[in-house]
Structure 1
Amino acid sequence: MTTASRGLDSQGYIAREGALGRIQDAFRPAVAAARDQVADVFGKRLDSAYLYGSVARGAARVGRSDLDLLLVLRAAPTPADRADAHAVAAAVDRDFAEIDGVGILLHSRDRVLSDLETHDLGWFVACLCTPLLGEDLAEFLPRYRPDSRLARETNGDIALFQRRWRERAAAAAGDEAALRALCRQVARHLVRTAFTLVMSRWRGWTSDLAEMADAFGQFYPEWAGRARAAVEVAYEPVGDAETLRELLDGLGEWLVREYAAVHGVKAPRPEDGAGRPGGA
């Protein structure tokens, strides 16, 4: 397999994935509506807006995929900003049956461009986000290789996420819809973390969950089945507490130990990572 087919450019840097031209026709009205509402609601508060995820990559499934946006504000997000983002997300989700939920992340320009976030949020913007509105902050960020530093800074906080997921699972007991949403989030994050564990050895980047699991399985064949099962849950989530427990107690707990041993633990962030893409 060539480096180009592994998400790298000719110099071995991670190529930016996604583009407005890749958006499938079925999702263009939802993206346009989201863009217009963000511009109208946030106005001068907005520095830039980005689309990321399967819709930006042209890999979304009608009625099954969610719409993911990152809004970079001129100042640190306030409760009012978060309420406005929630209202925009709810309106777009309500109006377009082609998407299964809308997620909007909020961060400030200063935080995205901070030294602390260069290999986390900065990398996320530069490599995984497609410009939608405003200035593209990728112009102020470096180029990135799939190395151990990037692995640590993006997913070296898996232990923190494990604790939070367990708390949310306990709070969602008996709520099938909440458990389904949490199963999807946990499964996605675990597969992506498993991939970044090995990406420096695999020497490439991908956001395709199945390809991530296959790459991981090349280096940890004894865990390959668990990773493939997590991909299935990510694509077809269930509101089942037992499925969630198996994800957390199995692949999740193993990743906490192995990730720390291989790449180290990420330094704490303000708010302990709240509102982050979670290894995108």
Structure 2
Amino acid sequence: MCETVPPKGVDSQGRLTREGSLERVQPAFRAVVAAARDRLPHAFGERLHSAYLYGSIPRGTARVGRSDLDLLVALRAEDWEAGEADRAAADRLGAELDDEFAEIDGVGILLHSRARLLSDVETHDLGWFVACLCTPLTGEDLAAHLPRYRPDGLLARETNGDLPLLLPRWRARIAAADDTEEARRPLVRFMSRHLVRTGFTLVMPRWGGWTSDLREMAEVFAAYYPARADQLRAAAALGYEPSGDRAVLDSYTGDLGPWLAEEYARVHGVKAPRP
């Protein structure tokens, strides 16, 4: 079988490398990144342990006026989930940055406790996310406490092996959304990206590498599942330029999603339950 592109994102020993860096941040986004770094301690005070960039900005592929600023914040807490005060602080900070900097289109802030990020059950999910997909912005880098990862079946199962649990929630979200293209567009974007990443991690152990580019993910998948290739390619395109077509959402929850969930469980098993 011919692979579409050679594996990448791994070192000479086949271990996944960190994909982003502050050096890759494009000039247009440096001011908002600096503002985020400076304001995080004021937003969270002594509860802030560390913060990270992820997504297109630290990868150097962001589009001015189109890309959002993605942050992960690790809190000094033993709680599994962040509290209401922390979420309110994140919302305020995100709104301030989004209003002030026209270069970005929205701010997303993930909040997790240091305890959760370093927990055994999250080692091959959130832990891997921090160590490989997040770029340190401020504070102690938690990657120092995490293992080196390989693109194996365990990583595949723990990152995206929960699609059977997600599909009923997706159907409920679609049913609850306003019946307009504008309301459906964010759902198409989110679900397209999730399905493409799930399709990619389904074959990631066989391919032997990592990429965060949706189109490249779809092409890697296509080499192993040609009968579903066009569906994932279309989803990759919609992940970047989403429509508000209800038929797309119906196809995701009625065809592509259920097939992926079944095939994923067959190949890799089901993700370990979380508290």
Same fold (TM over 0.5): yes
Q: How does 1:28-177 map to 2 (within 5 A)?
A: 28-75=30-77, 76=79, 77-177=82-182
Q: Which amino acid aligns with 1:163?
A: P
Q: How does 1:201-212 map to 2 (within 5 A)?
A: 201-212=206-217
Q: Which amino acid aligns with 2:273?
A: P
1:177 Cα shift? 3.4
Equivalent of residue 268 in structure 2, options 263, 266, 269: 263
Q: Measure, in 2, the Cα distance between the counterparts of 1:243 and 1:14.
A: 33
What's the secondary structure of 2:95's corresponding residue?
Answer: helix
Aligned length: 269
Partner in structure 2 of residue 273 of structure 1 = none
Gapped runs of 5+ residues in structure 2?
Answer: none
Runs of 4+ in 1 over 3 A off after TM superposition: 175-178
For the structure 1 residues 210 and 4, does the alpha-carbon distance in structure 2 shift closer, same or farther, using more than 3 Å as the test?
closer
Verify the 8 A CA contact 2:50 2:138 in the aligned structure 1: yes
For residues 96-154 of structure 1, give each alpha carbon's deviation from its aligned partner in whole angstroms, at most 9, with x where no partner exists.
22212111100000111111111011100000000001000000000000000000000
For residues 229-255 of structure 1, give each alpha carbon's deviation from its aligned partner in whole angstroms, at most 9, with x where no partner exists.
001111101223222222222321111
For the structure 1 residues 111 and 229, does the alpha-carbon distance in structure 2 shift closer, same or farther, using more than 3 Å as the test?
same
For residues 207-262 of structure 1, give each alpha carbon's deviation from its aligned partner in whole angstroms, at most 9, with x where no partner exists.
11111000000000011100000011111012232222222223211111100000
Gapped runs of 5+ residues in structure 1?
Answer: 271-280
What's the secondary structure of 2:50's corresponding residue?
Answer: strand
Verify the 8 A CA contact 1:173 1:241 in the aligned structure 2: no
Q: Measure, in 2, the Cα distance between the counterparts of 1:51 and 1:102.
A: 11
1:4 Cα shift? 8.9
Verify the 8 A CA contact 1:119 1:150 in the aligned structure 2: yes
Q: Measure, in 1, the Cα distance between the counterparts of 2:234 and 2:46.
A: 45
For residues 30-87 of structure 1, give each alpha carbon's deviation from its aligned partner in whole angstroms, at most 9, with x where no partner exists.
2122222222111211000000011110011112211111000001310111111111
For residues 165-196 of structure 1, give each alpha carbon's deviation from its aligned partner in whole angstroms, at most 9, with x where no partner exists.
11111111324433211111111111000000
Query: Which stretch has the larger CA shift, 118-127 or 76-85?
Result: 76-85
Verify the 8 A CA contact 1:4 1:10 in the aligned structure 2: no
Q: Measure, in 2, the Cα distance between the counterparts of 1:179 and 1:97.
A: 24
Partner in structure 2 of residue 278 of structure 1 = none
TM-score (norm 2): 0.94
Matched, 1:194 2:199: yes
Q: What is the CA RMSD across the aligned residues, in angstroms?
A: 1.5
Matched, 1:6 2:18: no
Fraction of identical pairs, as percent: 64
TM-score (norm 1): 0.92
Partner in structure 2 of residue 228 of structure 1 = 233
Query: Which stretch has the larger CA shift, 233-242 or 125-134?
Result: 233-242
